[in-house]
Amino acid sequence: MAGGTSTPRTRVRRLPKRGGYDRAAIDPILDEALIAHLGFTVDGQPFVIPTLHARVGDVVYVHGSAASRTLKHLAQGFPACLTVTLVDGVVLARSIFNHSMNYRSVVLLGQAEPVTEQQEKLEALVAFSEKILPGRWDEVREPTAKELKATSILRLPITEASAKVRTGPPGDDEPDYTIPVWAGVIPLALVQGTPVPDPKLTFDLPAPRWDRLPKRVK
Amino acid sequence: MAGGTSTPRTRVRRLPKRGGYDRAAIDPILDEALIAHLGFTVDGQPFVIPTLHARVGDVVYVHGSAASRTLKHLAQGFPACLTVTLVDGVVLARSIFNHSMNYRSVVLLGQAEPVTEQQEKLEALVAFSEKILPGRWDEVREPTAKELKATSILRLPITEASAKVRTGPPGDDEPDYTIPVWAGVIPLALVQGTPVPDPKLTFDLPAPRWDRLPKRVK
């Protein structure tokens, strides 16, 4: 699984068989995850904030208000860490010790760069929109110049990243297989419920169809 | 919503109406979240890793292998940040700019303390077990002394924390309400699928019942 994005800082040390540095392992996880957790350090204190992200080719975009202290800080080029995690299931073993989770995660290290060029800014916004609901961009009002100005977008190049994945059944200690308890995996997934129309919706329109939602929302 | 856990470092600056510092706001979010993202800094580089967490009273526990470099680092008392995020829905507005997510998140700052006392270690492990599946502890093999030794547990006191919540319909600009597009919220939740028995399961036992799962997994 080793590839161009492995460095001593991203190498998966614990249970290295779960690690991957190949873009073929990394990109689908980044794409399927609806949100990311973005880490940065201010005066020695790490902060972790949830944020929408979107990958376009070899970069991951994050965005926020131009007034955001987080984005202003990151835009200065301080080191950042963007992590996404997909929780796939709870792994029930015969011993407490061997209980686990099935998951897919990506850790991406790097320095954020502010996106200043208008065209790239728009492309990033389209990517966020596609992430929220494919096709939405064409149905709603596009951003005004003022709204674009109020939005900061940062770019994180995918140059130093690792994926970590656990799948499959529990691994128990040999003597424990005689313990008469159910063991296996309870799959978990982020799924959509019944759409709730805006009370201010005056048009008789159907809610977006489920199959228009991204693949991750089954 | 202001309370004893607010400091200048945790104050919610952007959209402060979404912020809360009261334990009554913070604890249920910590408890409902299945995993946390833990941030720490090594040589100026922030790292964010997904991890199981469990709140017991006024502390949040995280755990891992005693050989984990992350836990060894954190146990030295460096500043940490534990963040949990519940994604509740996608908010579809009439303009791209007003699209949003409904979510509940908690950011907890502090220094991790290693748990060394055997009784507290066991209590933390029971809390992790309850988080994965209530009642599981009593059904499976308890940890051996060797397994306990191989497990590091860290304690983060809930002294500096904030909650951030967005709920409800989109907020659109007045002129946009005439745009004939569906608007509202598509609720999202982590739900369980059909249990997958371990291929090595030789006992004819029912899978854990759905209603035994924590409340967050509806």
Model pLDDT for residues B167-198, shown as the tens digit of each residue = 999 999 999 999 999 999 999 998 889 999 99
The answer as to whether A9 is a domain residue is: no
* Cα angle: A72, vertex A74, A79; to 5 degrees: 160
The answer as to whether A162 is a domain residue is: yes
Tell if the CB–CB gap between B49 and A92 is shorter than 8 Å. Answer: no
The answer as to whether A4 is a domain residue is: no
Tell if the CB–CB gap between A193 and B187 is shorter than 8 Å. Answer: yes
The answer as to whether B3 is a domain residue is: no
Phi–psi pair at A25, nearest 5 degrees: -90, -35
Tell me the average pLDDT across A99-128: 96
Q: Which residues of B touch A143 (CB under 8 A)?
A: 95-97
Tell if the CB–CB gap between A39 and B39 is shorter than 8 Å. Answer: yes
**According to the model, what pLDDT value does residue B209 have?**
75
Q: Which residues of A touch B69 (CB under 8 A)?
A: 13-14
The answer as to whether A26 is a domain residue is: yes
- Tens digit of each residue's pLDDT (9 = 90 or more) over A32-62: 999 999 999 999 999 999 999 999 999 999 9
Q: What is the pTM of this model?
A: 0.92
Do residues B39 and B83 touch, judged by C-beta distance below 8 A?
yes
For A3, B5, B138, the CA distances from A68, given in Å and listed in that order, are 35, 22, 48
Find how far residue B86's CA is from the centre of its chain. Answer: 8
The answer as to whether B9 is a domain residue is: no
Q: How far is A79 from chain B (nearest CA, A)?
A: 6
- pLDDT bracket for residue B2 (50, 70, 90): very low
CA dist B143 and B91 (Å) reads 44
- pLDDT bracket for residue B17 (50, 70, 90): low
- A121: CATH: 2.30.110.10
Closest to A39 (Cβ–Cβ): which among B47, B93, B183? B47
Q: Is the dihedral of CA A169, A175, A177, A181 positive or negative?
A: negative
Tell me the average pLDDT across B59-69: 91
Phi–psi pair at B72, nearest 5 degrees: -60, -40
Closest to B107 (Cβ–Cβ): which among A35, A48, A92? A48
Q: How far is A34 from chain B (nearest CA, A)?
A: 9
Number of domains chain A is built from:
1
Domain that holds residue A64: 16-212
- Closest chain B residue by Cα to residue A85: B50
In sequence order, the β-bridge partners of residue A101 are A90
Tell if the CB–CB gap between B176 and A141 is shorter than 8 Å. Answer: yes
CA dist B187 and B184 (Å) reads 10
Tell if the CB–CB gap between A46 and B45 is shorter than 8 Å. Answer: no
DSSP code of residue A174:
G
The answer as to whether A203 is a domain residue is: yes
Q: How far is A160 from chain B (nearest CA, A)?
A: 12
Type of residue at A79? P
DSSP code of residue B141:
B
- Tens digit of each residue's pLDDT (9 = 90 or more) over B25-47: 999 999 999 999 999 999 999 99
